[in-house]
Amino acid sequence: MKHEIHLHDEPFKLIKNGFKTIEMRLYDEKRKKIKVGDYIEFTNRVTSEKLVVEVMNLYLFDSFKDLYDNFDKKFIGYKEEEEARPSDMEKYYDRKDIEKYGVVGIEIKVI
């Protein structure tokens, strides 16, 4: 199955260049449909460029803090000199929704 997800420019480029291998999302009804072996077509919100990846694994957590604690920051899109803060995800997702649904780390591979 192929899923479609829009991404901001920076994470899109990091995935395209093989640096970011874990896409972090709220584990809501839409993301519960994603399975290992599925494909995701990412669309860059700025350039409309498309990129297809394969889902290699799914990691479920109660919070982004738990997810951040389980992965090296470079795999989730941070540079070595950047501080990885789970609170960064609150600009995308409401804290109540995070508590309600939990979160998923989607391990991906560019194909």
d(CA 94, CA 43) in angstroms, rounded, equals 23
**Backbone phi and psi for residue 33, each to the nearest 5 degrees, phi listed first:** -80, -15
d(CA 101, CA 111) in angstroms, rounded, equals 29
Query: How confident is the model at residue 88, as a pLDDT?
Result: 93
pLDDT class for 2, splitting at 50, 70, 90?
A: very high
Provide the residue ranges of all domains of the chain, joining segments of one domain with +.
2-110
Question: Does the domain formed by 2-110 have CATH 3.10.450.50?
Answer: no
Report field, pTM of the whole predicted structure over 0.85: yes
Cα 100 to Cα 26, 29, 46, 94, distances in angstroms: 10, 11, 30, 10
Q: What is the pLDDT of residues 54-111, one digit of tens each?
A: 999 999 999 999 999 999 999 999 999 999 999 999 999 999 999 999 999 999 999 9
